[in-house]
Structure 1
Amino acid sequence: MRRPAPPLHRDDPKKEPLVGHVKVTREDWLNVARDILVSDGEAEVKVLTISTRLEVSRSSFYWYFKSHKHLLDALLDEWENWNTRLIREHCELPAPTITAAVCNFFRCFIDPARFDQGLDFAVREWARRDGKVRARIDRADSARLKDIAAMFARFDYSADEADARARILYFQQLGYHALEQTEALEDRMARLPHYLLGFTGRAHTGDECDALNDFARAVLAPPQE
């Protein structure tokens, strides 16, 4: 599930009104570019396409970006700052047990407003054709694995075991979304105790599973009409 696309600045009542001749912001350009990257791929992230969606002239692009490459670099910075930061923050959340810590890790991926799965896989697809993007993916994966391993190490796993369990947990999570699994929430939550035992080798508490179940139901509940 993708992170919801935010409304344009001019359509968002929470934003300050635009002044003068400004019709869109740098954030608007980036948000539309990200949406195109996720839906159509990097090759379709074109200035003309974005300006058409924004209903502005192409010349306004250069108020915010030096070039098309500058825009692509900004997209990569946004991806790395958003997704990698979120994983680190969830791994560092206070937890009384390793199973509770892994539940915190899962929260990052359950809530579509947090880890942007669509963006992550769009960048990975882009990396197949661009060596520099591939290098950034590799660095991001290394940083994420280090954070997850540190989470295990906090609960007295040896360095080697923490590294191995981090890899199992992270690669499983990426694979789950790459395969576009559509299992019912009830089925997924029913497997949670067994997942936790498999990932950590330690027994969970019922409260930990109940708390994650409640969180998942709250964030995935259909909007009220």
Structure 2
Amino acid sequence: MTIQKPDKTHGWRGSADLWIDAAYEVLIDGGVEAVKVMPLAKALGLSRTSFYWHFTDREALLAAIIDRWEAKNTGNLVARCTAPAGSICAAIFNLFDCWIDEDLFDSRLDLAIRNWALTDAGLRARVNAADATRLAAMRDMFDRHGQDGRLAMIRAHTMIFTQVGYYTMQLGESITERLDRMPLYVEAFTGQAPSKAEIAEFYARHGHDA
């Protein structure tokens, strides 16, 4: 883990985002128990007092990380599920943008949050709520494209279970390998083969040559 010390002037207290970014790196690498104020302050080259300028306590910092996770991962996933699409295959490709673009969906943070939730009942409830929101967005996506209600839910469950299992197993698959296989995943999840045009559009926005 490397936390970049910021450039600063005398008396500078940093920013809330700076502390959250540093805590994020520690959470990803060492779990929630490793997120402590003094080590973060030392890594950033700031004082403990600077931390309390932005947060009331460690719990407030942890809450900010959770809020970032919900806004980014769940928020972007729902947005991709509701993006305009001419077919169910195109809609699934929209969702698959999340599995390729870390700016849309941070799989490392999602895994860290899930691991943390194993020992935190309150966070477990928020993870369950986030999963319910994600599943509903996927189900509604299938519904909009004429899928039967029960089948839509099963397919939504299959997609989310597959993705969580994928990053939990940390397979180390390259982006190129993932992109090459995604048209077949679309077919597996929808029962329909995507068109050449839909595949080409998906590949183009990720800079991938078929």
Shift of 1:184: 4.2
TM-superposition CA deviations, 1:116-139 (whole Å, max 9, x none): 111110011111111111111111
Shift of 1:78: 1.2
Paired residues, number: 207
1:217/1:176 CA distance change after superposition, 3 Å: farther
The aligned residue for residue 55 of structure 1 is: 45
Letter in 2 for 1:97: S
Shift of 1:20: 7.5
RCO higher in structure (CA 8 A, sep ≥6): 1
Shift of 1:75: 1.2
Shift of 1:19: 8.0
Shift of 1:142: 0.6
Distance 2:178 2:133 in 1: 28
Distance 1:49 1:6 in 2: 11
The aligned residue for residue 184 of structure 2 is: 194
1:29/1:183 CA distance change after superposition, 3 Å: closer
Shift of 1:54: 1.1
Given candidates 37, 54, 57, the residue that maps to 1:64 is: 54
Query: Secondary structure at 1:76's aligned position in 2?
Result: helix
Distance 1:117 1:187 in 2: 17
The aligned residue for residue 221 of structure 1 is: none
Given candidates 45, 55, 68, the residue that maps to 1:78 is: 68
1:94 correspondence with 2:76 = no
The aligned residue for residue 119 of structure 1 is: 109
TM-superposition CA deviations, 1:62-92 (whole Å, max 9, x none): 1111111111111111111111001011111
The aligned residue for residue 174 of structure 1 is: 164
Given candidates 134, 142, 151, the residue that maps to 1:144 is: 134
1:153/1:6 CA distance change after superposition, 3 Å: farther
TM-superposition CA deviations, 1:159-198 (whole Å, max 9, x none): 2111111111111112111111233444433433322111
Distance 1:42 1:31 in 2: 14
Distance 1:81 1:41 in 2: 20
Distance 1:66 1:133 in 2: 19
1:33/1:189 CA distance change after superposition, 3 Å: closer
Shift of 1:47: 0.2
Task: Report the TM-score, using the length of structure 2 for normalisation.
Answer: 0.90
Distance 2:180 2:105 in 1: 23
The aligned residue for residue 193 of structure 2 is: 203
Distance 1:165 1:67 in 2: 42
Given candidates 1, 21, 34, the residue that maps to 1:31 is: 21
1:6/1:166 CA distance change after superposition, 3 Å: farther
Distance 1:124 1:49 in 2: 24
1:41/1:171 CA distance change after superposition, 3 Å: same
Shift of 1:7: 6.7
**Root-mean-square deviation (CA), in Å?**
2.1
Q: Which runs of 4+ in 1 moved over 4 A?
A: 5-8
Gaps of 5+ in 2: none
Distance 1:75 1:188 in 2: 28
Shift of 1:6: 10
Given candidates 151, 157, 175, the residue that maps to 1:161 is: 151
The aligned residue for residue 222 of structure 1 is: none
Distance 1:58 1:191 in 2: 48
